[in-house]
Amino acid sequence: MARPCTSASGLVLFLSLCSIFVVDSTETKKPLIDAKVLNSKIQAKHTYKVGPEEEYKSIQAAIDAVPEGNSQWVVVHVRAGTYREQVVVPKNKQYIYLRGNGKGRTAIVYDECSDNNSESATFTVEANNFVAFGITFKNNAERGLPNLPRNQSVAAKVAGDKVAFYHCGFYSPHNTLFDNKGRHFYESCYIQGNIDFIFGRGQSLFQSCEIFVLPDGRNDILGSIAAHNRKSADDSSGFVFLNGKVYGVGEVYLGRANEAHSRIIFANTYFSKTISPLGWSNWSYSGHTGGLMIGEHDCHGPGSDLQNRAEWARQFSKEEVEPFLSIDFINGSEWLPAYY
């Protein structure tokens, strides 16, 4: 016989179990974008396999084998392992789907540092129409540290249009992700660094990404997560961070103004205490603040208190941010192989 409900706490327990169940069932309904989904959407015509036992021993060798002017999707499948090389996907090698065995298992690692961001990059994509899944990009340069010349150590430079990364990792101490130009989508990625570690003039949506802040070697200036270079009011670029999580060690700013029209939006994101109460920095930018579009919308967590934010940083209304908070911001329904 069913035991009668005798206590208020029993009822609360019962209700909270119900709500756990409800949350779980909506979570599982959300389509997970994984390699299987991408494979079925992309329908590649050919696969180039990379690994110690495969036809291609390095990732660059496989990319070199893709014909110039390629116009149909091909897979470059990279078996688990660490590949020590600098990799470039040049402009004339479009429609490459770079697939790893998971960001904890397949990694491209190099250790170049330079005063030139492009030259330091472990991975560079210049081509349009590129997709990566389940792979880590890492710049391991010991000297890519603040307060030294040759301090740039880019893990990935993204300079093509219509480029998407799913479940990828980006690691470097400094200037990790050079989101140079073009429309980009980052889904469930992990990005780590300390100073200006997501920077450039891309038009990019970072959806459900995890951003981890490393301790900052400097004590005079705090680093910034994002530095964006939008140059004019009719420039469509911007960095939009949606539904993610920011945490780490030490104290940082969410971002900084780099040009008169810099655009950086964090929405529905969790901030740990690692975010400085001031939130944003105008370090090195001394111009007019009226054209900046930098701020937050509906973030949460211990670092999300808006009371002491920089006076020029914005607290966006739902209406203001709506056009930026979906793949429409990057015209994604026209070119993304998978999204939700």
Give me the residues that bind ligand NAG (CB under 6 A), please.
Answer: 115-116, 118-119, 146-147, 149, 151, 195, 282, 286, 289, 310-311, 328, 331
Burial class (CB in 10 A: 0-12, 13-18, 19+), 101: middle
**What's the number of CA atoms in the CB half-sphere (13 Å) around residue 32?**
7
Contact present, 260 and 287 (Cβ < 8 Å): yes
* Closer Cβ to ligand NAG, 4 or 290, answer by number: 290
> Is 196 marked active-site?
yes
Pairing of strands 177-178, 198-200: parallel
* Closer Cβ to ligand NAG, 111 or 119, answer by number: 119
Distance CA 107, CA 102 (A): 9
Distance CA 18, CA 33 (A): 27
Provide, rounded to whole angstroms, the least separation between the CB of residue 100 and ligand NAG: 26
Provide, rounded to whole angstroms, the least separation between the CB of residue 116 and ligand NAG: 4
User: What is the distance, to the nearest Å, from the Cα of residue 45 to the centroid of all Cα atoms in its chain?
Assistant: 28
Residues counted in the chain: 340
From 202, 163, 157, 149, select the one nearest 175 (Cα to Cα). Answer: 157
* Closer Cβ to ligand NAG, 25 or 147, answer by number: 147
* Closer Cβ to ligand NAG, 27 or 220, answer by number: 220
Provide, rounded to whole angstroms, the least separation between the CB of residue 170 and ligand NAG: 18
Provide, rounded to whole angstroms, the least separation between the CB of residue 151 and ligand NAG: 4
From 185, 187, 275, select the one nearest 226 (Cα to Cα). Answer: 275
Helix, strand or coil, per DSSP, at residue 335: helix
* Closer Cβ to ligand NAG, 70 or 331, answer by number: 331
Angle (nearest 5°) at CA 191 between 188 and 196: 140
Catalytic residue among 34, 161, 179, 196: 196
Provide, rounded to whole angstroms, the least separation between the CB of residue 227 and ligand NAG: 11
List residues with catalytic annotation. Answer: 196
